[in-house]
Amino acid sequence: MLTVVIQAGGQSSRMGEDKALKPFLSHPLIQRVIERMSPIADEIIVTTNRPADYEFLNLRLTPDLKPGRGSLGGLYTALASASHPLVAVVACDMPFASTKLLETGTSLLVKEEADVVIAKTDEGYEPFHAVYRRATCLPAIEAAIDADKWKVIAWFPQVKVRELSPDEVRACNPSGLCFWNVNTPEEFEKAELIARQTD
């Protein structure tokens, strides 16, 4: 059983407006991400500190449980809020988030008894397009926060991390777009153009 948590907590400073709610092909971007994730989710939760703005989604909305703790606090909130033992966490600004990659991650997590299945790109780990085992990851994240650590992967040495190879990622995501988060109006426009051609 898989909970998918969509994280809508970012500042959107480069966009100049809330990018999760910005229309993408005439619907709020977050709605596109939710629709992409629905086929694999037994539960969908949106983490946001502005629940009134997201009520239209008719989903469970959860505010930060560790306010002021940045991305690590956001990840804690995502796992703590989930009802199911396995949790996929996805950023709200990834218009090409891949269910196939998350499904592959979930089955690897179960088969190999890992605690995290995550891709590593040239930019580093992709914690907001990854799968986590709630029971083992939550206490490790809480301990990292209590130790005043801020890096979103500060707790990885405490758990079993299964890294997806570039080939495994490519097999699930031939376009290479699944980790792309749109941060500027220009990127938004470009992503819409690509989506029109590929959806």
Residue 13 has pLDDT above 60, yes or no: no
Residue 179 has pLDDT above 80, yes or no: yes
Q: Quick one: tokens of 35?
A: 């629709």
Question: Mapping DSSP to helix (H, G, I), strand (E, B) and coil, where does residue 5 land?
Answer: strand
Report the pLDDT value the prediction gives residue 10, as an integer from 0 to 100.
61
Residue 57 has pLDDT above 80, yes or no: yes
Question: Mapping DSSP to helix (H, G, I), strand (E, B) and coil, where does residue 147 land?
Answer: coil
Confidence of residue 163 (pLDDT cuts 50, 70, 90): very high
Q: What is the CATH number of the domain that holds 81?
A: 3.90.550.10
Residue 78 has pLDDT above 60, yes or no: yes
Give yes or no for a contact between 33 and 6, defined as CB atoms under 8 angstroms apart.
Answer: yes
State pTM to two decimals.
Answer: 0.95
Mean pLDDT of 63-67: 93
Of the candidates 118, 139, 113, 143, the one whose C-alpha atom is nearest the C-alpha of residue 128 is 118
Mean pLDDT of 32-49: 96
Give pLDDT tens digits for 14-30: 666 788 999 999 999 99
Mean pLDDT of 170-199: 93
Give pLDDT tens digits for 87-116: 999 999 999 999 999 999 999 999 999 999
Q: What is the total count of domains within the chain?
A: 1
Q: Which domain holds residue 24?
A: 2-198
**Burial letters for 140-163: b for 16+ Cβ neighbours within 10 Å, e otherwise?**
bbbebbeeeeeebbbbbeebebbe
Which residues, including other chains, have CB under 8 Å from residue 114's CB and lie 6 or more apart? 108, 133, 160, 161, 162
Give the containing element (helix H, strand E) for 107: helix 99-111
